Amino acid sequence: MIVAMFCPECKTMLISSAGQLKCRRCGYIRKIGGADQMVKEKKRTENEITIVDDGDEKIKTMPTIQIRCPKCNNNLAIWWLRQLRAADESEVRFFRCTECGHTWRQYD
């Protein structure tokens, strides 16, 4: 249950001070109750995590492009972008051959 931390009178956000919630605008005060407590993030346990195993088949979820592999001359690779240098410089394009698994990069 989520409890709004806003003043019921003037709709301003309440601030926490000395075990109370106070409104800076109109002076409304109320004690912090059990429903007002912050909810801690629940940690996931191993039983809650679902692992998908594709067995011998590879799941094809990455985008592909027709580009020649410098190692085996295959004409299909998956690709992705990474920002390796400063934010004002262009991204680096990575490729991985779908045939031999060779990975290479291309700078702009």
The catalytic residue positions are: 88-89
Question: DSSP readout, 53-103?
Answer: --TTSPP--S-EE----TTT--S-EEEEEE--S-TTSPPEEEEEETTT--E
- Taking the C-alpha atoms of residue 5 and residue 12, their distance in angstroms, rounded to an integer, is 9
